[in-house]
Amino acid sequence: MSAAEGPLVVGVDSSTQSTKALVVDAATGRVVASGQAPHTVSSGAGRESDPRQWWDALCEALRQCGDAAHEAAAVSVGGQQHGLVALDDRGEPVRPALLWNDVRSAPQARRLTGELGGAKVWAERTGSVPAASFTVTKWAWLAEHEPEAVRATKAVRLPHDYLTERLTGQGTTDRGDVSGTGWWASGTESYDEEVLAHVGLDPALLPRVVRPGEVAGTVHSHDLPFSKGTLVAPGTGDNAAAALGLGLRPGVPVMSLGTSGTVYAVSRHRPADPSGTVAGFADARGDWLPLACTLNCTLAVDRVATLLGLDREAVDPGTAVTLLPYLDGERTPNLPNASGLLHGLRHDTTAGQLLQAAYDGAVHSLLGALDLVLDQDADPSAPLLLIGGGARGTAWQETVRRLSGRPVQVPEAKELVALGAAAQAAGLLTGEDAAAVARRWDTASGPVLDAVERDEETLARIAGVLSDAAPLLERPTDTH
């Protein structure tokens, strides 16, 4: 390892399927070591993971980083949002964590929305309308279906909270991640006692909300290769961490192509969308992160490619077929019971056209929410920043360009969630704003693909099929 110009920091990305760790030079942003280890997600009706796998994966990822991790002066964890981690009085999981893409709580989401004043009241109160992904609905589902697990629960955490607590021994969260629970009031930036009382959750079971720039604690675990006294930053949810990793300024649009797809932008205005399309998240600094999320993105399109026996890039143009790839239900549009739908199949339809239709269906969902995400801070001339696992795929890039009609920029920096966490850790050491750290690292630089004419015909066709098929898509399907 060549000599670093500044202190070393560790940024962690604990995502749905794996945990990654980067050791980064705080002065330059150079990644000096990295590691990654997988964890498993259940299949079937639910999406669950054992939180202890996340910790084991973090330990392994750090072990792969070698001596560089031991030299780090600070660490921060970015993690998948919304997951419900229920712990007993020894800090052990009482059951596997319910993940963001577990949609079994859709009935509870509808019920909670109605019971506490309707969508507009929820949006004004918490910034968001409850959806099946939100933690409050998962707690309501657990109380209804597994009351013995609720009785055994002595602490409730989000995925990044769980890992941070294993590092420090203290229960903490941050405003970015807690804003996705449904039990945090965005107007007062505090836990909403009425919501908590309504779902029977004692606020004493929840972690302390650490402010941006505050130290969450120091590493106390002996399982990890950190020096004694290594600082631990608040951490945050994965989307807020990626926003930090890009050094986002207000109004710059982002589309993230991962297992889930998201569109978001930093805003100085507290969002409150009563339609429920836009989640009014806080960011990890002091601003806001209005965001829309789809459940089906790269994983769903890759599944279609596998079913067709094609490489993911083997698309054919000129399709008149529509494929809505809602393989896990869908959040945007809000169709938690939906399954995939194919319309317009002809004798001359090729497998490559079917695959292109899957890309079109996935991107259509994201672009439908983009105008709602952007507000008066938006820069209409700014390229759409394309990030996530799919961002470097030619088929994804060309589909986004064709359906958005905007220039597209693909940052060269990889692992933006872990880089954002690293920037947060670096900010503890330097006193800088974490986004300013990332801008100093020049993480958002990358090639810009010029705008092309927007494909209005395809957008209109998909919208028409979606509208006509709504009753079918809303019908529950047997998942067994």
3-class DSSP string for 110-173:
HHHHHHCCCHHHHHHHHCCCCCCCCHHHHHHHHHHHCHHHHHHCCEEECHHHHHHHHHHCCCEE
φ/ψ of residue 178, rounded to 5: -70, -20
Q: What whole-number distance in Å separates Cα of residue 476 and Cα of residue 349? A: 29
**Residue positions counted in the chain:** 480
State CA 437 to chain mean position distance: 22
What's the longest Cα–Cα distance across the chain?
Answer: 67
Beta-carbon contacts of residue 100 (< 8 Å; ≥ 6 apart)? 16, 47, 80, 81, 82, 83, 133, 260
The residue annotated as part of the active site, out of 102, 192, 238, 283, is 238
**Is 67 among the residues known to form the active site?**
no
At 328 the three-state DSSP class reads coil
With CA atoms as reference, report the closest residue to 382 among 291, 266, 269, 286: 266
Handedness of CA 218, 221, 223, 227 (dihedral sign): positive
Which residues is 208 bridged to in the sheet?
A: 172
Q: Which residues are catalytic?
A: 238
